[in-house]
A and B are shown apart, each in its own frame.
Chain A
Amino acid sequence: MTRHDARKLSKERRFGRVVLCAVALAWLSLIVIVPLAAVLGEAFQDGAGAWWRAITDSEALVALRLSLKVAVLTVPLNTVFGIAAAWLIARFRFPGRSLLMTLLDLPLSVSPVVSGLVFVLLFGAHGWFGPWLADRDIQVIFALPGIVLATTFITLPMVAREILPLLEAQGDEQELAALTLGASPWQMFWRVSLPGMRWAVLYGVILTTARALGEFGAVSVVSGHIRGETTTLPLHVEILHGEFHFQAAFAVASILTLVGVFTLVARRILQARIDAAE
Chain B
Amino acid sequence: MMSIEIRNVTKRFGAFTALDNVSLDVPTGQLVALLGPSGSGKTTLLRAIAGLDPPDQGEIRDHGADVTRLGTRDRNVGFVFQHFALFPHLSVFENIAFALRVRKRPAAEVHERVRELVALIQLEGLEHRRPAELSGGQRQRVALARALAAKPRVLLLDEPFSALDARVRHGLRRWLRKLHDELGTTCVFVTHDQEEAFELADSVVIFHAGRVAQLGSPAEVFQVPQSAFVADFLGGTNKLAGQVTQGQFHVAGQTWPQRLPNGPATAFLRHGDVELAAEPPLHRPSLAVRVTRVRSNGPRTQAELRTLQENLLLVAELSPDRSLAVGSELWAVPRKLHVFADAPGELRHGDTQEPVTWGEFI
Contact = CB atoms under 8 A, between A and B. Distances in A.
B83 interface: yes
Given A93-B362, A187-B102, A277-B88, A179 B73 contact: yes
A177 B102 contact: no
Contact of A181 (B89, B150, B362): B150
A191 B88 CA distance: 11
Which one of A174, A180, A181 has the highest number of Cβ atoms from chain B below 10 Å of its Cβ?
A180
Interface string A45-75: 0000000000000000000000000000000
Interface of A: 93, 171, 173-174, 176-184, 187, 191-192, 195-196, 198, 276-277
A176 B75 CA distance: 13
A207 B322 CA distance: 73
Nearest to A178: B98
B189 to A, nearest CB: 15
A276 B72 CA distance: 29
Given A174-B85, A192-B87, A180 B359 contact: no
Contacts of B150: 181-182
Contact of B52 (A180, A195, A196, A198): A180
A110 B316 CA distance: 72
Contacts of A171: 359
Interface in B44-81: 50, 52, 71-73, 75-79, 81
Nearest to B81: A173
B35 interface: no
Nearest to A177: B85
B52 A184 contact: no
Given A181-B146, A191-B98, A196-B89, A176 B73 contact: no
Interface of B: 50, 52, 71-73, 75-79, 81, 83, 85-90, 98-99, 101-103, 132, 146-147, 149-150, 359, 362
A73 B123 CA distance: 48
Q: Which 5 A-B pairs have the closest CB atoms?
A: A173-B85, A180-B79, A181-B99, A177-B85, A195-B89
Contacts of B79: 176-177, 180
A1 to B, nearest CB: 39
A171 B90 CA distance: 18
19 contacts: A93-B362, A173-B81, A173-B85, A176-B79, A178-B98, A179-B71, A180-B50, A180-B73, A181-B99, A181-B147, A181-B150, A182-B73, A182-B99, A183-B73, A195-B87, A195-B90, A196-B88, A276-B132, A277-B88
Given A181-B98, A181-B147, A182-B103, A176 B89 contact: no
Given A176-B85, A178-B102, 13 more contacts: A173-B83, A174-B87, A174-B88, A176-B81, A177-B79, A180-B72, A181-B73, A181-B102, A181-B146, A181-B149, A182-B150, A187-B102, A191-B102
A196 B85 CA distance: 12
A176 B43 CA distance: 14
A178 to B, nearest CB: 7
Nearest to A184: B73
Contacts of B71: 179
A201 B103 CA distance: 28
B221 to A, nearest CB: 29
Contacts of B132: 276
A276 to B, nearest CB: 8
Of A93, A191, A195, chain B has the most CB atoms within 10 Å of the CB of: A191
Given A93-B362, A173-B83, A177-B79, A183 B98 contact: yes
Contacts of B102: 178, 181-184, 187, 191
B140 to A, nearest CB: 13
Contacts of A176: 52, 72, 79, 81, 85
Contacts of A173: 81, 83, 85
Contacts of A179: 52, 71-73
Contacts of B359: 171
